Amino acid sequence: MSVNIAIVDDEEMIQWTLKESMESEGYNVKTFENGRNFLSFFKEHGADIVFLDVRLPDSNGLDLLPEINRIDPETIVVVMTAHGDVETAVSAMKLGAYDYLAKPYNIEEVNLLIKKIIQTNLVKSQLQHYQERLESHFSQILGENYSIKILREHIAMAAKTDHTTVLIRGESGTGKELVARQIHFQSGRADKPFIDVNAAAVSGTLLESELFGHEKGAFTDAQKQKKGLFELANGGTLFLDEIGDLDASLQVKLLRVLQERKFRRVGGTSDIHVDVRIISATNANLEQKMQEGSLRKDLFYRLNVFTINLPPLRERRDDVVLLAKSFLNEYRKEFSKEHITGFSEDALKLMQAYDYPGNVRELRNIIERAVLLETTNLIRPASLPDELKNNMNSVEFKNIKTADSETVNTKNDIGVKENNNSNDLLSPFGDDKPWHKPGFNFKDYIDSVEKHVVEEVLKETGGKKTKAAEILGLTRFALRHQLKKHGMVVD
């Protein structure tokens, strides 16, 4: 989890000092000089914490509070008031602000406040996450590429040995977290917590108390004893994300947990024993980090017991269509745009040719955006981002029409499975409904329709399977399966 902070203040000096200091703590910071600019950004991207000045050039900050709340009630707002303006501070709190800061404030005070917010909300959101995971743990790992089939086998193996430490490696967006979750939910620990911690998002000392908890009085802010995530994950799985960013003292402490399955809370004097499986993930080059001396070798070997490497999407391009369709299905429902039934052929070509530096997450985002933008029944190149269209210059895409002149060629367009057009499905029968004929068998009937359609399409493509699969909206694997199933020749 990275922390996104928005500062809404028209005084440049304040914007600058706050931004500098927050960024040095590793937070993502955006600044806005008026309410309008902020709101338009916030509607689209949201923020975890908003520092909101009450006196803005175009509005009163307090007037924005209900709007922020309406857009995202989870967002935490800290209102910045003039010194001694108690009335405004009180109104802000009544309107749902988390806290207020009286100007002039010192940077230390701001930093402490942010840490307090993260600390109280991190654990809360971890537990909430856990709840969500329980509900969504069957979110599938999609893909028919050979590497994904092997991956599924590896996940099953890792799940079986539920004490084995697992290291998941792969570029950003390749599905590391998804895999970690699958391992947990297929393992004997499934009904115990799955807790994820991002080592890069929280600074060293704070992360230490997050992970291991602290005793009352361990440091200035420790007003009461707090359990760490290791204790909360007891019996379950702790997912340590971005493990390459762990600082030196935490590496020692983690090594001890891995070796001895025990640790001490910050400021604590007795050992606490836990039974937690550790799954870590990274997109960093750990070998290089070891060479540079920023990662302990002994820790690396302890983490790297069972390694799972996730392939970048560009190395399994044959899965792009399948993933894209699944995301389309998801977003068309979410955004109530169920009239979008598939992709134009040109859009598909662009999607298959692109390299996806952000991997599956990038593809997901592309489809989300396209569903929002698309006004016709098919996702066309016009709704795809420019990066994909850069490929248009290559010879293969010369024929793709530009956004304005584009026409939709429904004959060859490829759609998602449509569930709600039952009229279309039934209408071909007219009065001659096959299920009223004697000896009708549903399964046999569907099989014969499948076979018939596949045969017809193959005839149309002169036996070219890749083209046939494209027309049918199947992957090559799925088409092969159809051919085998119906006893047709497979080469």
Q: What is the contact surface with ligand ATP in residues (CB under 6 A)? A: 141-143, 170, 172-178, 283, 360-361, 364
Conformation bin of residue 46: beta by default, left when phi > 0, alpha when psi is -120 to 50: left
Cβ proximity to Mg ion, 25 vs 177, nearer residue: 177
> What does 141 bind: Mg ion, ligand ATP, none (CB cut-off 5 to 8 Å by kind)?
ligand ATP
Report DSSP letters for 402-430, one per residue: PTTT----GGG-EEPPPSS-HHHHHGGGT
> What does 173 bind: ligand ATP, Mg ion, none (CB cut-off 5 to 8 Å by kind)?
ligand ATP
The residue behind tokens 């995971």 is 133
> What does 35 bind: Mg ion, ligand ATP, none (CB cut-off 5 to 8 Å by kind)?
none
> What does 172 bind: ligand ATP, Mg ion, none (CB cut-off 5 to 8 Å by kind)?
ligand ATP
Cβ proximity to Mg ion, 176 vs 316, nearer residue: 176
Distances (CA, A) of 168 to 195, 355, 418: 16, 22, 36
Cβ proximity to Mg ion, 182 vs 482, nearer residue: 182
Provide the residue type at 390 as one letter: N
Nearest distance from C-beta of residue 168 to ligand ATP, angstroms: 8
> What does 142 bind: Mg ion, ligand ATP, none (CB cut-off 5 to 8 Å by kind)?
ligand ATP
> What does 162 bind: ligand ATP, Mg ion, none (CB cut-off 5 to 8 Å by kind)?
none
Nearest distance from C-beta of residue 264 to ligand ATP, angstroms: 30
Nearest distance from C-beta of residue 284 to ligand ATP, angstroms: 10
Which residue number has the CB closest to ligand ATP? 175
CA pair distance 43, 79, nearest whole angstrom: 19
Cβ proximity to ligand ATP, 143 vs 381, nearer residue: 143
Helix 442-460 and helix 465-472, axial crossing angle in degrees, nearest 10: 130
65 and 55 Cβ atoms separated by less than 8 Å: no
Distances (CA, A) of 295 to 2, 177, 258, 358, 429: 22, 22, 15, 25, 68
Cβ proximity to ligand ATP, 24 vs 139, nearer residue: 139
Cβ proximity to ligand ATP, 61 vs 473, nearer residue: 473
The residue behind tokens 């007795």 is 270
Nearest distance from C-beta of residue 29 to ligand ATP, angstroms: 20
Cβ proximity to ligand ATP, 176 vs 277, nearer residue: 176
15 and 31 Cβ atoms separated by less than 8 Å: yes
CA pair distance 379, 83, nearest whole angstrom: 54
Sign of CA pseudo-dihedral 249, 254, 259, 263 = positive
438 preceded by a cis bond (ω within 30 of 0): no
List residues binding Mg ion (CB under 5 A): 176-177
466 and 318 Cβ atoms separated by less than 8 Å: no
**Which CB contacts under 8 angstroms, 24+ apart, belong to 89-94?**
91/62, 92/54, 92/61, 92/62, 92/65
Cβ proximity to ligand ATP, 135 vs 404, nearer residue: 135
Distances (CA, A) of 395 to 82, 256, 317, 353, 398: 62, 58, 19, 12, 5
Nearest distance from C-beta of residue 191 to Mg ion, angstroms: 23
> What does 174 bind: Mg ion, ligand ATP, none (CB cut-off 5 to 8 Å by kind)?
ligand ATP
DSSP code of residue 319: G
Nearest distance from C-beta of residue 368 to ligand ATP, angstroms: 10
> What does 380 bind: Mg ion, ligand ATP, none (CB cut-off 5 to 8 Å by kind)?
none
Nearest distance from C-beta of residue 299 to ligand ATP, angstroms: 20
Tally the C-alpha atoms within 13 A of residue 119's C-alpha that lie toward its C-beta.
24
Cβ proximity to Mg ion, 158 vs 414, nearer residue: 158
Nearest distance from C-beta of residue 360 to ligand ATP, angstroms: 3
CA pair distance 317, 299, nearest whole angstrom: 35
> What does 161 bind: ligand ATP, Mg ion, none (CB cut-off 5 to 8 Å by kind)?
none
Cβ proximity to ligand ATP, 62 vs 142, nearer residue: 142
> What does 364 bind: ligand ATP, Mg ion, none (CB cut-off 5 to 8 Å by kind)?
ligand ATP
Query: Residue 15 phi/psi, 5° resolution?
Result: -50, -50
Nearest distance from C-beta of residue 198 to Mg ion, angstroms: 8
Cβ proximity to Mg ion, 2 vs 390, nearer residue: 2
Nearest distance from C-beta of residue 178 to Mg ion, angstroms: 8
> What does 361 bind: ligand ATP, Mg ion, none (CB cut-off 5 to 8 Å by kind)?
ligand ATP
Nearest distance from C-beta of residue 359 to Mg ion, angstroms: 11
